[in-house]
Structure 1
Amino acid sequence: MIYPERFSTLPAHAWPRLRALLDVHEGGGPLIQMTIGEPKHAFPAWVTDVITDNAAGFNSYPPNDGSPELKGAITDWIKRRYDVAMDPASEVMALNGTREGLYNAVIALCPETKNGQKPAILMPNPFYQVYMIGAISGAADPIMVNATAETGHLPDFSSVSEDVLARTAAVYICSPANPQGAVADHAYWADLIALAERYDFFIFADECYSEIYRDTPPVGVLQVAEAVGTDRNRIVAFHSLSKRSNLPGLRSGFVASGPETIAQIKQLRNYAGAPLPLPLQAAAAAVWADEDHVEENRRLYAAKFDAADRIFGNVPGYQSPEAGFFLWLPVEDDETAALKLWKETGVKVLPGGYLAQAVPGQDNPGKTYIRAALVAPQEQTARGLELIRDCLYAV
């Protein structure tokens, strides 16, 4: 490696830490897995037929940026969902899962210096760990901004010091938020866009959970950018079929922005990208065009939300999530609670501190939470939630 020191001090990843914590102990009952956010609802049965019908495409190299059909399906969906018209040829690009795009965004778009200093990349704390490694890979400073109950579980980027904002090249923001389920409203997006214009940075909007909501569709950054008239090139939105359509193994997502920004992203992908095979692109195009299965998916999650509210309604500090499919449950100590739960019940959850870091002058904001994923079937999910309540909360 050219820069081995860049990664030498990284904290351990969440999953090896979880295995080290739990796997040396016997579970106290049949395993109920509530750690990883891997959707378990059925994906549309016809997806297999689309792949089979287009199997001849495996004999060809796929278009690097996405087929015209896929990009057209994506921009049609953006128009239906957000009432924003985008050019499929120049303003969207297909991704091999949004992790690829989120990781490469800093490398593709951010300068080597900002105002003569090392650039900073701001991100929520807790955070999706790809944000941090993307910043580090792009030779930038990852700056965590706490997202707590006091801030509505969304980061207040305006609270960052002037000197850091002056060298900020981009901000990562996840809405609906993982793990808390908080949703950025129109005012939040507008304020963030105004801050980005004032300090000249990109907004990397991770909206992968946008289609899993309870009542009102979450407002999207693209529609707010359109409403306030900002330069679309400043906004970089990421979406995925993994959660929306229960297709994490399809590895299909997209990035949307202005043509200048997309051109820069495409330039990096020409060298480093791994395009989706053509039969899978055909399947993705069909899935983006269909909403019936998405509505059914939301119905299944809504039943789990209702069960969670019933089970935890009397737990002090419990907050019912607006969207996404995680519960962010308050505890005294995350590792102690996760270990107790595993040893006594067989339920596995993720200690919240594994998704966050301590920042100067402040404790790790995840240390007093556990994350429980509501992805298993309804009956198993409800049973796991009841065991969590009975084991950890005296209500």
Structure 2
Amino acid sequence: MNPRIDALHPYPFEKLRALVSGITPNPDLAPLSLGIGEPQHPPPQVAIDALIAQVGDVAHYPATLGRASLRAAIADWLKQRFALNTIDPDQQVLPVTGTREALFAVVQALVGDDCDIAMPNPFYQIYEGAALMAGATPIYLAADPSNDFKPMGDTGIPDYDRLAMMFICTPGNPSGKVYTSAELQQLIRLAQRHDFILVSDECYSEIYRDQAPAGLLQAAADMGLDDYRNCLAVGSLSKRSNLPGLRSGYMAGDAHLLKRFARYRTYHGCAMPGHHQAASEAAWGDEAHVAENRRLYRIKFDRAYELLADYLDDQPPAAGFYLWPKVPGGDDEGFTRFLLERQNLRVLPGRYLARDVDGSNPGAGHFRAALVSAPDTTETALVRLKTALDEWSARA
């Protein structure tokens, strides 16, 4: 048995199930959940049509590198969206079977044991699991108000000589904070100075409120770094196009790193099925559904800030689809249980998305609520959430 398996922490939703196992939800209310970030808006018909039209391709083995036409479609989208001067679809773009697979596997391919991997705290737990399974040591960089929820790597790194990789998430999960181009360039210079790999998780980049967020490759190109040295960016159709079940995304950037990663994936067996590639190509080529997606999220966030003004920051997050409120009194686990019992509504305690460092957990005292359902369902959930917060606040 691989002993590194034992180092993996239970996933947040496993902890949540244990937390609420003894709770009897209010039987007078239909169950609702704001706990899981699974988009519920309709997927684009153009992608569904392409998927159906190409379903016969299941009779063929797909190539690890994906179809040239899909790589070209992703490259064209990257150039347009992030104003890139150039990106080579054959050397600097790799289709992946969802960003979870890519984020985990790239660590196994590119990082040796007995080194450090830095990540924000709170974080997407795949970063940590990938580090632990590779035999690396996770370094948790607090994402909190002291740095506007955007760790810059200037504090918290014990030894840059040991640092092999740093994960960032922009827009952030769960904060929705966005790194500016100048901040990304600062991180790029840091990565090149100390020769570590900078991986930018940009899964939420298209769910923005007003202004399209900058991306890592965009920041590198603005510096004149068209080779994107030391930089890898990851994006997905799950959030952008409401296609989480398609398991389709990309990794793009440094050609030398991608070549090594592609060799690993040849053995790993993660080639995207041909009909999924066809659907992906269609989705990357259509922006109308993405604009409609943003419109629906804007409606829900506006309503959330009307109903929950007493419990939220002054302004909605710049991007993403999460609320990250503080719990009155600070007991995020207690409030999660109370909310399910009284309102049959699930959220995720913030502490489950972070780790204790020096006795402090930067997620504790918050909860995460995903506004992913249709506007009418979200409205019902928000009304229940306000009722519970008002009652809990009076007791706190």
**Could you say which TM-score interval applies, normalised by the shorter chain?**
over 0.9
Deviations 1:25-44, CA, capped at 9 Å, x for gaps:
11123211110000000011
Matched, 1:271 2:258: no
CA distance in 1, matches of 2:310, 2:9: 36
Matched, 1:385 2:385: no
How does 1:180-195 map onto structure 2 within 5 Å?
Answer: 180-195=175-190
Matched, 1:100 2:98: no
Kept in 2: contact 1:186–1:219 (CA 8 A): yes
- Aligned counterpart, 2:146: 150
Deviations 1:196-233, CA, capped at 9 Å, x for gaps:
12211111110000000000000001010111234513
Q: CA deviation at 1:309?
A: 1.3
SS in 2 for 1:173: strand
Kept in 2: contact 1:338–1:349 (CA 8 A): yes
CA distance in 1, matches of 2:216, 2:269: 25
Matched, 1:364 2:356: no
Matched, 1:215 2:215: no
CA distance in 2, matches of 1:88, 1:108: 21
Deviations 1:284-310, CA, capped at 9 Å, x for gaps:
001100000000000000101111111
Kept in 1: contact 2:115–2:164 (CA 8 A): yes
Kept in 2: contact 1:147–1:156 (CA 8 A): no
CA distance in 2, matches of 1:198, 1:69: 36
How does 1:265-304 map onto structure 2 within 5 Å?
Answer: 265-304=261-300
- Aligned counterpart, 1:253: 249
Matched, 1:373 2:370: yes
For 1:344, which of 335, 342, 345 is the aligned residue?
342
- Aligned counterpart, 2:120: 124
Deviations 1:320-367, CA, capped at 9 Å, x for gaps:
2111000001011110110111111111000011110101x2411111
CA distance in 2, matches of 1:318, 1:153: 16
Matched, 1:307 2:303: yes
CA distance in 2, matches of 1:69, 1:40: 28
Q: CA deviation at 1:318?
A: 6.2
CA distance in 2, matches of 1:278, 1:209: 25
SS in 2 for 1:329: coil
Deviations 1:227-250, CA, capped at 9 Å, x for gaps:
123451310100000000000000
- Aligned counterpart, 1:21: 19
Deviations 1:118-160, CA, capped at 9 Å, x for gaps:
2100000001010001111221101111101221111231112
CA distance in 2, matches of 1:137, 1:14: 18
More displaced 10-residue stretch of structure 1: 224-233 or 319-328: 224-233
SS in 2 for 1:8: helix
Q: CA deviation at 1:390?
A: 2.2
CA distance in 2, matches of 1:12, 1:49: 38
Q: Which amino acid aligns with 2:87?
A: M
Kept in 1: contact 2:172–2:320 (CA 8 A): yes
Kept in 1: contact 2:312–2:325 (CA 8 A): no
- Aligned counterpart, 1:115: none
Deviations 1:177-203, CA, capped at 9 Å, x for gaps:
011111111121111112112211111
Q: Which amino acid aligns with 1:44?
A: P
Deviations 1:89-145, CA, capped at 9 Å, x for gaps:
111111011111100111211244xxxxx2100000001010001111221101111
Kept in 1: contact 2:352–2:363 (CA 8 A): yes
Kept in 2: contact 1:352–1:371 (CA 8 A): yes
More displaced 10-residue stretch of structure 1: 269-278 or 7-16: 7-16
Q: Which ranges of structure 2 fall in alignment gaps of 5 or more residues?
A: none
Q: CA deviation at 1:48?
A: 2.5
Q: Which amino acid aligns with 2:173?
A: N
CA distance in 2, matches of 1:180, 1:48: 31
Kept in 1: contact 2:46–2:283 (CA 8 A): no
% identical equivalent positions: 40
CA distance in 2, matches of 1:342, 1:58: 43
Count of residues in Structure 1 that have an aligned counterpart in Structure 2 = 386
Deviations 1:7-36, CA, capped at 9 Å, x for gaps:
323332211111111232111232111100
CA distance in 2, matches of 1:392, 1:309: 14
Q: Which amino acid aligns with 1:82?
A: F
Q: Which 4+ residue blocks in structure 1 deviate beyond 6 angstroms?
A: none
SS in 2 for 1:159: coil
More displaced 10-residue stretch of structure 1: 340-349 or 383-392: 383-392
SS in 2 for 1:239: strand
Q: 1:336 to 1:319 in 2, by over 3 A?
A: farther
CA distance in 1, matches of 2:267, 2:141: 33
Q: 1:299 to 1:317 in 2, by over 3 A?
A: closer
Q: Which amino acid aligns with 1:280?
A: H
More displaced 10-residue stretch of structure 1: 366-375 or 39-48: 39-48
Kept in 1: contact 2:140–2:156 (CA 8 A): no
User: What TM-score do the two structures reach when normalised by structure 1?
Assistant: 0.94
